Structure 1
C-alpha cells in the first residue's frame, strides 16, 4: 500500500538516532518503552542511559533493591512504572531464566506488560506481524483516513488496531511500527503540524477537509483533583530531620517524604501554624516555625494538582530517628521534595 511504503521511506530518511533502535535486544526495547510512556524522548533518554549503565541486564535489574531503582527513576514521574518494571524484571530473571517470551501472546502474561508494550517488544525485537497502537498512531491514522471515532471510547482501540493491522506490511512490522510512531512524534504532532512539508499532504483526508486541528476526537476530560500539602521539615539541635516512606497506595508509593500535613483547602498560614502546633508529629517541644516558600509550589500530576509548602520546624533536643541532610538526600524522593533538599539542605 502506498501509505506504508511512503511512511517507511520517510522514516529511513528522518528517524532519530536513538540507542534502543541499534539492536533487537528485548530487554533494552522493554526498558525504553516503559520509560517513554507519558514521557517525551528528550526527558526519558538520560534515564534510559543511566538505567542501562546501572543495570545492563535483566538480572542486574532484578537483583537491585527497589529503593535503588526508585532513586534512579527519581524525577521521571509515574513511579508505578518503576515498581512494575522491577517486579517484571524479577519474573523474567527468576521464573524465565532471563529469557523474554518471543510472541505477543506470551508477553501479555508478564506482569505490568499490556497490549501496547507486548506489541512493541514482539514487533521490534522479533518482527512479529502485530500492530503497535499508541497516541501517535491514533493521531496519524485518524487524520490520514478522517476517522472521527472518539479515541477515548470503548471500541476505539479495537478499531484503530484493526486499521493499523491492515496497513502493516508483512515481514516489516518492526520498521513500520517504529515509522508510524516516529511520524506522529516528529511530523504529525498534536498542535500546528507543518502540513506543507508533509509527505502525505496530497492524500491526507483531514488536510483536504480542513480538519487537522479537529482530529483525533477525544471528548473525555481528565478530572483534576486539587490537594494541599504542607511538609514539615523538623530540625533538632544537631540539624537532623526526619523522613519516612510513603506506604499508602496512590501517588509516590514507597518514596520518602517529610512528615505531611494535608489540608482540604488552601488554609491561611495562621491556620496551618495552629494545626502544626496542635498535632503531635514529634515528642520534642517546638521552638520556632518558619514557612520556607510563602509563594508555594504547584506540582502538576496527570490527575492531581498539588499545592505544596515547606515549613521548617525547629525543636528542642534530638529527634528520635533523626537523619542528616547528606544521608537523607540518598533516599528516593518525589522530585519536588528532592529539589527542596538540594536547594535548602536545611
Structure 2
C-alpha cells in the first residue's frame, strides 16, 4: 500500500476495522447492490436495511422483479416515500432483462440510460459491484469532502458539486474503488456525521475545516425555502361495514396509490364542507359528515400538509354498494377495514388508518 496517499490509506484502514455487516456486502452482487442503493436514497441506514432484506427476500433476482406486479412492488415500498423510485426499479429491471441479459450493465453510459439511474446510482453500483473507478457523492461524502477541503460554496451549488465529484474521482486508489467508495461513505455516516465525532476522527490533521475551527459550518447548507402549507380534507365513507377507497391517476401527486377521497380546502369553506363537495365532484355521491376523526399533519420536502379526516355516510339509503362515477381516479373499491393493508396509501392516509385501528370508537367497523 506504499502507493497510497495518507488520506487514502487512513480511510481504507479505518474501513477495514469498522465496516458494518450489511446485506449487499456479502457478495457484492450487482442486483443486490443496485436495490440497496436505491432504497437507501432518502432513507436512514437502520430503517433501510429492513426494507432491503424484505425486498430481496421477495424478489431475489432481477428476473423475479421484472415479472412482478407494480401493485406488489409499491406495497413493499410503502413507508419509504418517493414512489417514483419503486416504479423506476420495476421499469429498469424489465429493461435489463429485455436488453442486458438480466444484469446491471458495466458501462456507465448504458447504466445511466436506465430509468431512475443517475450519476450517483451508476457510480455506486459500478464501483461496488464491478470495482470500477467511478466516483460517488452522497450526503455522507459531501460532509467529509466539504470539511477536508473547506468547501465554502453552498453544498448543492454547481460550483460545489463540480468540485466534489472531481475530487471524489481523483481520490479513488487504482484497483480499490469498491473499498474506498464504501470507506468514505461509511466514514461520513459514522464519524463525520451531521454532529461530527472529531475526537474519534483519524483525519483531523488533514482536515482544513478542523484546522480553521469551522467544522460545524461545513458543509454550507443550500438556501431552504419554507415549506408551503396545504390544507386538505379526506373522507372515510363507511357503508354496510365496508369502506370506499380510490386509486389515484398515473399523473400528478402519489400516482397509482390508493386514498380516501378528498381534496384541497378552498378559500371560504370549512374542511367538512370541502370533503362533502369533493365527494360530489369526484364521485357524484351525496354524503354527509358523521364525525371528525382526526387532524393529521405530515411534512414533505416542499409542502406541509394538514389533513382533516372525517367519517362519512350517504345522505340517502342505498341497497348494496353504489358504483361511483369516477372523475378524479382510475379505480374504486369497497373494502373491509382489514383489507386496507393490501393497498398502498400515501403516508398521511396510512397514519389515518393506523389511528383508526387504535381508536375504540371505531371498533364496530375495524
**TM-score over 0.5 for the alignment?**
yes
2:232–2:271 contact (8 Å) kept in structure 1? no
- Tell me the matched-pair count: 339
Report the 3-state secondary structure (helix = DSSP H, G, I; strand = E; otherwise coil) of the residue aligned with 2:95: helix
Could you list the per-position Cα deviations for residues 35-82 of structure 1 after superposition, in whole angstroms to 9, with x for gaps in the alignment? 011111111111111110110001111111101000010111111111
Aligned to 1:299: 298
Which residue among 198, 208, 212 is the counterpart of 1:209? Answer: 212
- Answer whether contact 1:152 1:220 (CA < 8 A) is retained: no
Which TM-score applies when normalising by structure 2? Answer: 0.87
Structure 1 residues 313 and 188, CA gap change in structure 2 (3 angstroms)? same
1:279-290, aligned counterparts within 5 Å? 280=280, 286=287, 288-290=289-291
CA contact (8 A) 1:228 1:306 kept: yes
Distance 1:277 1:303, change over 3 A: closer
**Inter-partner Cα distance in structure 1 for 2:296 and 2:6:** 51
Tell me how large the CA RMSD over aligned residues is: 1.9
Q: Quick one: structure 1 residues 314 and 16, their matched pair in 2 at CA, closer, same or farther if it must change by over 3 Å?
A: same
Deviation at 1:292, TM superposition (A): 0.4
Q: Deviations over 1:273-317 (max 9, x none)?
A: 334445525555546521001xx2111112221111210002232
Contact 1:329 1:338 in 2 (8 A): no
Aligned pairs (5 A) from 1:37-186? 37-186=41-190
Structure 1 counterpart of 2:6: 2
**Is the contact made by 1:284 and 1:319 (CA closer than 8 Å) also made in structure 2?**
no
State whether residues 28 and 52 of structure 1, in contact with CA within 8 Å, keep that contact through their aligned partners in structure 2.
Answer: yes
Once residues 23 and 222 of structure 1 are traced to their aligned partners in structure 2, the CA distance between those partners, rounded to angstroms, is: 42
Are the structure 2 counterparts of residues 283 and 132 from structure 1 closer, same or farther at C-alpha, using a change threshold of 3 Å? closer
Q: Is the Cα contact below 8 Å between 1:241 and 1:319 reproduced in 2?
A: no
Distance (whole Å) between structure 1 residues aligned to residue 50 and residue 337 of structure 2: 26
- 2:260 corresponds, among 258, 261, 266, to 258
Q: Which moved more, 1:114-123 or 1:152-161?
A: 152-161
Q: Are the counterparts in 2 of residues 242 and 319 from structure 1 also a CA contact under 8 Å?
A: no
Q: Which stretches in structure 2 are left out of the alignment for 5+ residues?
A: 324-333, 358-364
Q: Comparing 149-158 with 117-126, which one deviates more in the overlay?
A: 149-158
Alpha-carbon distance change, 25 to 278 in structure 1, aligned in 2, over 3 angstroms:
closer
Aligned to 2:152, the other structure's residue is in SS state coil
Moved more, 105-114 or 57-66: 105-114
1:229 aligns with 2:228: no
- After superposition, give the CA deviation of every residue in 1:85-121 in whole Å (9 maximum; x if it has no partner): 1111111112222022113232112121000000011
> Residue 342 of structure 2 is aligned with which of 330, 340, 344?
330
Identify the range of structure 1 (159-168 vs 282-291) with the bigger mean alpha-carbon deviation: 282-291
**3-state SS of the aligned residue for 1:231?**
strand
| Range that drifts further, 145-154 or 279-288 | 279-288
The one-character-per-residue Cα deviations of 1:307-342 (angstroms, maximum 9, x if unpaired) are 112100022324325322223331111233224224
Counterpart residue number, 1:310: 309
Return the alpha-carbon distance in structure 2 between the equivalents of residues 226 and 87 of structure 1: 33
Q: C-alpha distance in 1, partners of 2:85/2:275?
A: 34
- Asked if the contact 2:266/2:274 (under 8 Å) is kept, the reply is no
Report which stretch shifted further, 196-205 or 174-183: 196-205
Q: 1:103, 1:128 within 8 Å by CA — same for their partners in 2?
A: no
Unaligned runs of 5+ in 1: none
- Assess if the C-alpha contact under 8 Å between 2:272 and 2:310 holds in 1: no
Instruction: Report the Cα distance in structure 2 between the residues aligned to 1:95 and 1:327, rounded to whole angstroms.
Output: 38
Residue 314 of structure 1: SS of its match in structure 2?
strand
Q: Is the 8 A contact 1:227 1:264 kept in 2?
A: no
**3-state SS of 1:308 partner:** strand
1:16 aligned partner: 20
Deviation at 1:248, TM superposition (A): 5.4
Between the aligned partners of 1:288 and 1:223, the Cα distance in structure 2 is: 33
Instruction: Return the structure number with greater relative CO, CA threshold 8 A, min gap 6.
Output: 1
